[in-house]
Amino acid sequence: MSTLASKLPAWSRGPLRRMKRAATTARYRGTSRSCPVCGNSSSRFRTSGIIPRADAECAHCNAIERHRLLWLYLTERTDFFDGKPKSMLHVAPEACLAPRFQQCIGDGYLTADLMEPAMVKMDITAIQYPEASFDVIYCSHVLEHVPDDKKAMREFCRVLKPDGWAIVLVPITADKTIEDPSVTDPAERLRLYGQEDHVRRYGPDYMDRLQEAGFKVEKTSVADLVSPEDAVRMGLTAASGDIFYCTK
């Protein structure tokens, strides 16, 4: 649909978007689910994921479980929305979050990625900014793709301001972190790590790696933020993971 829309005359794209929104609203009309990112209600969330997960993605803004947990955490546990000037580094920006972050942060907002389109091209193991450059750093589900993740963590710590904070998220899918740098075959990585371009599976000892990089780390789970009933309503499940809040 998006490819077809790009070939249509510019004047027709606005009405097409409005028709698509109206169809989505009608299909998912209801109040059983509520997305904290966009504030919209629906009867259910969409199925989403490489391994499909039911009730996972907001039909209105495309936020999935971990995005909704992040937004709730930012609202309830941080100063993100206090309106004060901030500089923010957002690595591998998600489409459902980036415009909202930019609206909130303004000129201090910077997106970065090594491969995908972003404001700057960045290798997070060699960040091209001086020490203490950012008040806020957010990086989600990136480090499992990075061979030298410990160096990337040290770089995040280096460019974070002394009174700043970072949220660095990864999927925790093992009892203990497993990795083998000699494994480069995509099929073997899929077998061992669950995805062809992953280089490890993280376990709860992920916190130890962050601490070794120089961070103080606070872990927050869904149950720390909301009741079981609200977790269901906002679609916060095991797939949401945990929040790892890092300070220096």
Which sequence spans correspond to the domains of the chain? Answer: 64-247
Q: How many Cβ atoms sit within 10 Å of the Cβ of residue 69?
A: 28
**Per-residue pLDDT band at 80 (split at 50, 70, 90):** very high
The DSSP letter of residue 126 is S
- Give the separation between CA 211 and CA 2, rounded to whole angstroms: 43
How large a percentage of the chain has pLDDT more than 70? 90
pLDDT at 17: 58
User: Is residue 6 predicted with pLDDT exceeding 70?
Assistant: no
Average pLDDT, the chain: 93
Q: What is the pLDDT of residues 105-151, one digit of tens each?
A: 999 999 999 999 999 999 999 999 999 999 999 999 999 999 999 99
Q: How far is CA 41 from CA 16, 230, 248, in A?
A: 22, 13, 38
Which whole number is the average pLDDT over 195-213?
Answer: 98
Which whole number is the average pLDDT over 196-224?
Answer: 98
Ramachandran quadrant class, 165 (left: phi over 0; alpha: psi -120 to 50; beta: rest) = beta
pLDDT at 27: 83
Which CATH number does 64-247 carry? 3.40.50.150
